[in-house]
């Protein structure tokens, strides 16, 4: 099968062209059975191509740093979804857009067409630095010390295709909040940055409060404070040092323990920061200045039409303005927040939406962390006309970020790990609240978040009321269920809390559970009492308070036939859980590892040829580790962290005389964390890596001869 020849447009970078061609060739190698399926999975995930629950099709995750998308890009994504996918755009809690039901062979075509409008798939999934998120109000937030957007953009650019974060033990997530209110949830990220300003000699100095090693999932951890104030020119070197430590010392065998939160909580924050400081001292740049002008802070609407428009529904318009619209820090302009039900927008409506934005708002659209939209720089006189047009496509519903604006992952709709329907339950809850609690659209202090499994893509752990999918057995029968969680989310002071598990309920009974909780809050909360404060006050008196409240709903003796059918389904529930791809896989096949080591060496040489010796040296380091892992696997030595691989290679192969490295393997390889990289060091280090790969090949040939 001949390689696909792509008609690359001039605006598609050389690096992107290489990536697209490489993805195409890997797909063909996989189809021809010349590339191991597990290795291919690891490769495609870092290119945004993710296996679905449905066999034979893929989800494509489109990477949109800090949620920024333009009308032009939105139109292109809509066209691509119609051409290659299901005609739907799904907004995620990480401010990405996903399209579903894409044929594997079409993934490079999708990528090529996205790059033409400045959008990438690179490192949207897999064991990489994932999409860097930020408060969607960044740049217009009246409470922000400064706009964090240029800083999020700088980190995105710096770590894209960076050798230090291509194949870590697990994914790595970074968030920038607009203020200490922490609306981007830095407290539950691997790295969270909150802007701060100091005055020194009458001069404004920008910096960040920094959080490290937070995370959700089955075992959530709140992040640790690393710095109360880290100057802006140190955030990239600090992040680099953290990632290098995680890459070297992070777990790699036990996937469920391979996040940064486990490393930090295992060795302690003090020991971790000592390792970070050590890495920091050998970086070629101890500080890196941020180009604050790289991102446009103000992009005004092209026109202000229909100033005399009258709302088609005055009552709804009034509610919409009260709950969805706020005045920006730029006086006279307004931010307009839009609810996107389930995060799903049909491609035909996306085209209409893009045209509306071009008329009334800045072309700088932001996807929100609760799966909605933010329009910026809207004139007050344009609000009625904007409302009227948004209303025609279902995007003028009031109650943005209120209790009724539920966050939910796709769950069993498309995800391999989905256990119960998060989207179906979301629709049932929103319908119940609209009918029985109509004024709750004004309540922004109770957030409901739902995940289809315990992995927290719907962020249930930080919901004031959270649910995650599971199943319950009744005799030989199985019914869909949800774990109810309470007390998570942002506190009024901006500090994050994690929700507590309360009870497991059949999913069909969850709307009644929410009804009980909301009624109890209405009746028993103190005046102005925040939901979490009410929750903790009740639990302090009786730790079983909410369990007792909801226990009657859990009784299986009263189960009826409809309880065996999940929300949004008509057939009886069946547990179908596949292999998750949220963070890639560990590949231990010797031949695959050797092939991978050779690829890493070629990558090293390409980087070095461009004169980027710092990155080239780290790519060479990755080559050493991968080669060592290949031979250790052949020796039957279990491979865990990179440090263990380096030390075990020294112990089992070099010290025993089995492999002649020409000196200490451990000492030589670990120079990467002890020496500042310059051209001379990089060239010698890369040459040794080249010799090392050649020696491994010779070693394997001798092994094969001995065995024969």
Q: Which pLDDT does position 417 carry in this prediction?
A: 74
Q: What is the mean pLDDT of residues 461-469?
A: 95
Q: What is the mean pLDDT of residues 490-511?
A: 93
pLDDT tens-digit readout, 92-131: 999 999 999 999 999 999 999 999 999 999 999 999 999 9
The answer for residues whose C-beta is within 8 angstroms of residue 434's C-beta and 6 or more apart is 404
Question: For all residues of the chain together, what is the average pLDDT?
Answer: 92
pLDDT band at 218 (very low <50, low <70, confident <90, very high): confident
Domain 314-391 annotated CATH 3.40.190.10? no
Order of all β-strands in the sheet with 58-62: 49-51, 58-62, 97-102, 88-91, 344-346
The CA distance from 242 to 152, in Å, is 17
Q: Which pLDDT does position 1 carry in this prediction?
A: 42
The CA distance from 69 to 64, in Å, is 7
CATH architecture of the domain formed by 414-564: 2-Layer Sandwich (3.30)
The CA distance from 91 to 99, in Å, is 9
Q: Which pLDDT does position 586 carry in this prediction?
A: 36
Q: Which pLDDT does position 583 carry in this prediction?
A: 44
Q: Which pLDDT does position 3 carry in this prediction?
A: 62
Q: What is the residue-wise DSSP string for 325-359?
A: EEE-SSTTEEEEEE--GGGEEEHHHHHHHHHHHHH
Q: What is the residue-wise DSSP string for 24-60?
A: HHHHHHHHTT-S-HHHHHHHHHTTTEEE-SSTT-EEE
Domain 133-281 and domain 590-707, same fold? Reply is no
Nearest to 249 by CA among 260, 236, 238: 260
Residues 178/179/183/189 CA torsion (nearest 10 deg):
90
Burial of 652 by CB count in 10 Å (0-12 exposed, 13-18 middle, 19+ buried)?
A: middle
The CA distance from 296 to 68, in Å, is 11
pLDDT tens-digit readout, 509-530: 999 999 999 999 999 999 999 9
Q: Picking from 49-53, 426-430, 678-682, which range would have the lowest pLDDT averaged per residue?
A: 49-53
The CA distance from 610 to 615, in Å, is 10
Query: Is residue 244 within 8 Å of residue 258, measured between CB atoms?
Result: no
Token digits of residue 338: 């839009």
Q: Which pLDDT does position 574 carry in this prediction?
A: 78
Residue 589 has pLDDT above 80, yes or no: no
The residue ranges of every structural domain in the chain are 14-115, 133-281, 314-391, 414-564, 590-707
Q: What is the mean pLDDT of residues 173-195?
A: 96
pLDDT band at 588 (very low <50, low <70, confident <90, very high): very low
First to last CA, the chain: 35
Q: What is the pTM of this model?
A: 0.91
Q: What is the mean pLDDT of residues 169-188?
A: 95
pLDDT band at 42 (very low <50, low <70, confident <90, very high): confident
Order of all β-strands in the sheet with 68-69: 68-69, 365-367, 373-379, 333-338, 325-327
Nearest to 328 by CA among 196, 151, 147, 153: 147
- Phi-psi label, residue 503: left if phi above 0, alpha if psi -120 to 50, beta otherwise: beta
Q: Which pLDDT does position 595 carry in this prediction?
A: 81
pLDDT tens-digit readout, 653-676: 999 999 999 999 999 999 999 999
Largest Cα–Cα separation, the chain: 88
CATH architecture of the domain formed by 590-707: Up-down Bundle (1.20)
For 133-281, CATH gives 3.30.413.10
Residue 141 has pLDDT above 70, yes or no: yes
Distance from the Cα of residue 186 to its chain's centroid: 12
For 14-115, CATH gives 3.90.480.20
pLDDT tens-digit readout, 350-395: 999 999 999 999 999 999 999 999 999 999 999 999 999 999 999 9
Q: Which pLDDT does position 304 carry in this prediction?
A: 65
Q: Picking from 571-575, 634-638, 678-682, 688-692, which range would have the lowest pLDDT averaged per residue?
A: 571-575
Residue 538 has pLDDT above 50, yes or no: yes
């Amino acid at each position: 099968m001949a390689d696909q020849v792509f008609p690359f447009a001039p605006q598609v970078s050389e690096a992107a062209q290489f990536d697209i061609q490489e993805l195409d060739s890997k797909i063909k190698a996989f189809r021809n059975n010349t590339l191991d399926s597990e290795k291919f999975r690891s490769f495609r995930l870092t290119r945004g191509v993710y296996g679905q629950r449905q066999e034979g099709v893929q989800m494509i995750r489109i990477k949109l740093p800090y949620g920024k998308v333009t009308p032009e890009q939105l139109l292109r994504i809509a066209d691509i979804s119609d051409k290659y996918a299901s005609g739907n755009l799904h907004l995620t809690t990480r401010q990405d857009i996903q399209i579903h039901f894409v044929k594997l062979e079409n993934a490079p075509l999708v990528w090529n067409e996205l790059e033409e409008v400045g959008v990438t798939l690179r490192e949207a999934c897999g064991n990489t630095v994932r999409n860097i998120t930020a408060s969607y109000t960044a740049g217009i937030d009246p409470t922000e010390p400064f706009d964090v957007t240029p800083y999020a953009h700088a980190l995105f650019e710096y770590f894209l295709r960076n050798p230090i974060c291509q194949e870590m033990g697990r994914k790595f997530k970074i968030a920038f909040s607009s203020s200490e209110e922490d609306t981007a949830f830095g407290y539950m990220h691997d790295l969270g940055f909150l802007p701060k300003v100091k005055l020194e000699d009458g001069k404004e100095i920008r910096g960040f409060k920094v959080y490290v090693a937070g995370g959700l999932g089955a075992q959530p951890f709140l992040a640790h404070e690393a710095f109360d104030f880290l100057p802006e020119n140190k955030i990239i070197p600090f992040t680099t040092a953290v990632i290098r430590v995680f890459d070297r010392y992070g777990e790699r065998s036990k996937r469920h323990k391979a996040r940064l939160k486990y490393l930090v909580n295992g060795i302690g924050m003090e020991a971790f920061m000592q390792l970070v400081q050590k890495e920091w001292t050998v970086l070629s740049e101890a500080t890196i200045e941020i180009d604050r002008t790289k991102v446009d802070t103000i992009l005004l609407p092209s026109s202000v039409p229909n100033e005399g428009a009258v709302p088609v529904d005055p009552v709804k318009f009034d509610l919409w303005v009260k709950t969805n619209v706020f005045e920006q820090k730029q006086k006279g302009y307004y931010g307009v927040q839009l609810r996107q039900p389930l995060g799903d927008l049909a491609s035909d409506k996306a085209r209409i939406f893009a045209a509306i934005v071009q008329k009334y708002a800045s072309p700088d659209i932001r996807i929100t962390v609760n799966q909605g939209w933010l329009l910026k720089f809207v004139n007050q006189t344009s609000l009625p006309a904007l409302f009227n047009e948004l209303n025609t496509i279902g995007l003028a519903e009031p109650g943005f970020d209120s209790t009724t604006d539920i966050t939910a992952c796709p769950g069993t709709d498309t995800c391999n790990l989905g256990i119960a329907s998060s989207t179906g339950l979301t629709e049932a809850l929103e319908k119940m609240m609209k009918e029985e609690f109509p004024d709750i659209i004004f309540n922004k202090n109770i957030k409901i978040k739902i995940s289809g499994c315990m992995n927290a893509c719907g962020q249930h752990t930080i919901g004031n009321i959270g649910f995650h999918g599971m199943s319950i057995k009744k005799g030989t029968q199985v019914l869909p269920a949800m774990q109810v969680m309470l007390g998570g989310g942002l506190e009024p002071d901006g500090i994050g809390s994690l929700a507590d598990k309360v009870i497991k309920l059949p999913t069909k009974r969850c709307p009644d559970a929410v009804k009980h909780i909301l009624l109890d809050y209405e009746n028993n909360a103190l005046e102005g009492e925040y939901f979490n404060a009410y929750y903790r006050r009740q639990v302090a008196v009786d730790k079983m308070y909410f369990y007792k409240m909801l226990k009657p709903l859990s009784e299986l003796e009263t189960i009826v036939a409809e309880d065996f059918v999940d929300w949004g389904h008509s057939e009886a529930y069946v547990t179908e859980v596949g292999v998750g791809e949220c963070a890639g896989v560990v590949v231990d096949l010797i031949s695959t590892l050797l092939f991978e080591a050779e690829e890493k060496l070629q990558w090293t040489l390409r980087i070095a040829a461009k004169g980027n010796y710092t990155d080239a040296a780290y790519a060479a380091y990755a080559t050493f580790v991968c080669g060592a892992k290949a031979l250790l696997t052949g020796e039957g030595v279990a491979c865990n962290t990179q440090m263990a691989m380096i030390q075990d290679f020294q112990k089992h192969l070099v010290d025993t005389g089995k492999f002649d490295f020409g000196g200490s393997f451990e000492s030589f390889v670990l120079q990467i964390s002890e020496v500042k990289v310059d051209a001379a060091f990089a060239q010698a280090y890369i040459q040794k890596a080249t010799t090392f790969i050649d020696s491994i090949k010779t070693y394997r040939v001798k092994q094969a001869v001995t065995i024969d």
